[in-house]
Amino acid sequence: MANERVTREIPIPGSVERSLLDEETIRRRVEELAAQISADYADRESLLLVGVLKGAFIFLADLARRLTIPHHVDFIALSSYNRGMVSTGAVRLIMDTRAPVTGRHILIVEDIVDTGHTLKYLMDTFHARQPASLRTCVLLSKPEQREIEVPIDYLGFEIPNVWVVGYGLDFADRYRTLPYIAVLKREAYE
Ligand code: PRP
């Protein structure tokens, strides 16, 4: 009985279909993104990275530690309203940034853009606060799923329309700490 409960609560490797992006591939791409961002912001006084919780926490941590320019880190927590497994497009603000945004160079750091509603909400919200500049850095994009066009200034990878977990991404709040990005088996969520 106890064992069954444990088996259901911890990530079950058998639910993961295959690795889509392995650790080395992610590491190399994050390094490239950090080098590009460091070059682009080299003449700016400071950059404020805003990680979008929860999904971006691992990507942000790795990216920020590779930057060679002065920067600060802050977070915003959002959640999308879902109907079953399908996003309704409505976004809920759970926790705002602590640092003021006005007049600063802002880089929004997201794990994934799917329909685009979350990033659109973030762009509108931050634009209204009159930053000095506003750009986005996104690890994964699913172009087939897009319902709203959003600007992605720095992109890690385009991926097909599959459910991915690991490296911060979840299914029902699980699998976030897998070190690689994997495709979840369809039977796990259907
Ligand atoms: C995920 C992801 C993005 C958003 C993208 O967040 O982290 O923020 O969905 O989807 P969209 O482009 O369709 O709006 P989620 O609401 O699952 O929360 P989490 O980051 O806490 O996992």
CATH label of the domain that carries residue 122:
3.40.50.2020
Tell me whether residue 12 is in a domain. no
Q: What is the pLDDT of residue 12?
A: 56
- Identify the residues whose C-beta falls under 6 Å from ligand 1: 52-55, 79-80, 87, 110-118, 170
Print the domain residue range for 56.
Answer: 21-189
Nearest atom within ligand 1 for CA of residue 150: 12
Other Cβ atoms less than 10 A from the Cβ of 156: the count is 24
Amino acid at residue number 124: D
Tell me whether residue 114 is in a domain. yes
Other Cβ atoms less than 10 A from the Cβ of 168: the count is 26
**Tokens standing for residue 35:** 């080098």
Domain count for the chain:
1
Cite the active site residues: 114
Ligand 1, atom 10, lies closest to the CA of 114
Q: What is the pLDDT of residue 164?
A: 96
Q: 0.95 cut: is pTM over it?
A: no
Expressed in angstroms and rounded, the spacing between residue 52 Cα and the centre of ligand 1 is 9
Q: Are 83 and 90 in contact (CB under 8 A)?
A: no
CA-CA distance, 189 to 85, in Å (whole number)?
Answer: 8
Give the model confidence (pLDDT) of 69-124 as tens digits: 999 999 999 987 776 666 677 899 999 999 899 999 999 999 999 999 999 999 99
